[in-house]
Amino acid sequence: MSCIHPAPHPKERRIIFGNLTQPGYAPDLKTYVAHGGYEQLRKALSMTPSAIIDAVKAANLRGRGGAGFPCGIKWSFIKQDDGKPHYLVVNGDESEPGTFKDRYILHEDPHQLIEGVAISSFALGVKLAYIYIRCEFPAAAKIVAAAIAEAKAAGFLGTNILGTGFSLDVFVHQGAGAYICGEETSLIESLEGKRPYPRIKPPYFPAVFGLYMNPTVVNNVETICHIPHILRLGPEEYAKMGTPGDGGTRTLCVSGDVQRPGAYELPAGAVTLRELLYDICGGPKPGRSFKAIIPGGSSAKVLRADEKIKRKVKGPDGTMLDQEIDVLDLVMDAASLAGAGTMIGSGGVIVMDDTRNMVETLNNLNLFYAHESCGQCTPCREGSLWMAKMSSRMLAGGGVENDPKKLKSIADNIAGRTVCAFGEAASWPTQSFLEKFPEEFAAIATKNK
């Protein structure tokens, strides 16, 4: 069953989900071409690579994988004439809990992704691209591989694409099933057939020392799907849909305690959290109230539904003024959530109502991160397990008074002390749950006093 509702909400603007929600839309080449597919590849091949990169920059497209890095700027790190092989790697690991958008694209509109891969590869001087798909998506891997074969047979991939002299091969690579493989350098190691230990940055920025130590761009599935639409709409029109620093549309996956969960596609910054949760997702379940929201995948810091956000805003005369707003009035875009100390991340909005026990919820997250730590860095390997053991013990009735303080100290000693951002991902839930819900942790910790 799809999590994308057949009829779009009036506030939605479906671009990425535009085709796949049409009645009768099939994930094959004939259907994609009948919906205007591969026309943007034709257009791109008549442009210069730098003109395409400029268009992506002007579109203000931010990466949709979690870190939100501006896509055009990432692309401009690749030096066109360095004489080295360049690679494009599409990140289809989609392992961040609460995120369920890439799977729909891979299953239901694979040619949209392949057209994006072909255009991006042309712009980046890439002749060999990989689509890395997590092993838990075996059907997606088959569907995308079949679509690649169809595109190749029709001359949209392979040698001398559309008679332009540009050649590109694309391969699907299936991961073996680990959250860490979503981290880009770990994914590259995995693609090279090694244990997926993240590489340290610097020096191993993929754009410099990526796949096989050559310049590589790693982009999320959804990010790459936006590329044909930037050319179709024009970068200005595309950028205008969003906010100045966050162009285009964004998919938001809402799960948990709302009446109408699902994957929605909205112009970036078009709605506040309140509009998303009440108008679009139908509010809390009958008789319940919202308690907490994790706005950008499980690694993002949790927000209390009743908290006030203090922030600085520009006054009419340009001076900075203090402002206090309800958390639910935060705009759903990268800058606004960053200003509230959290992030839009992968767009996975996890909603919890007043029936949820926050120690239990944090324990679930801690068990996940302890299980998924790759083990390379001691603070993460030991610390994530230690936090999980402590929250499990507290939940089982064995809490002691010092537990919240100790938990915080462990989390504080993981974040910023690891090779990759998994350290932050594992510690932010503990840090933010303790900060936002101290009463629940104190109550459970002092029960045995």
Ligand X SMILES: Cc1cc2nc3c(=O)[nH]c(=O)nc-3n(C[C@H](O)[C@H](O)[C@H](O)COP(=O)(O)O)c2cc1C
Interface contacts to ligand X, rule CB under 6 A: 63-67, 69, 91, 93-96, 179-180, 182-184, 218-220, 223, 420-422, 425
Which amino acid type is present at position 38? Y
Residue 152 contacts residue 121 (beta carbons within 8 Å):
no
Cβ nearer to ligand X, comparing 87 with 179: 179
Cβ nearer to ligand X, comparing 96 with 333: 96
Distance CA 78, CA 53 (A): 10
Q: What is the side-by-side strand order in the sheet with 348-353?
A: 262-267, 249-256, 348-353, 290-294, 303-304
Strand pairing class (290-294; 348-353): antiparallel
Q: Which residue has the tokens 């190691």?
A: 189
For residue 348, the minimal CB distance to ligand X (Å) is: 10
Rg (CA), the chain: 22
Q: Which of 131, 132, 127 is nearest to 161 (CA)?
A: 127
Cβ nearer to ligand X, comparing 168 with 181: 181
For residue 250, the minimal CB distance to ligand X (Å) is: 12
- The answer for residues whose C-beta is within 8 angstroms of residue 78's C-beta and 6 or more apart is 86, 124, 125, 207, 215, 217
Which amino acid type is present at position 43? K
Cβ nearer to ligand X, comparing 40 with 95: 95
Cβ nearer to ligand X, comparing 238 with 422: 422
For residue 220, the minimal CB distance to ligand X (Å) is: 3
For residue 397, the minimal CB distance to ligand X (Å) is: 32
Cβ nearer to ligand X, comparing 379 with 404: 379
Cβ nearer to ligand X, comparing 295 with 404: 295
For residue 274, the minimal CB distance to ligand X (Å) is: 27
Q: Which two tokens stand for residue 310?
A: 């203090």
For residue 166, the minimal CB distance to ligand X (Å) is: 23
Distance CA 289, CA 292 (A): 10
For residue 269, the minimal CB distance to ligand X (Å) is: 18
Distance CA 49, CA 122 (A): 6
Q: Which of 420, 442, 435 is nearest to 372 (CA)?
A: 420
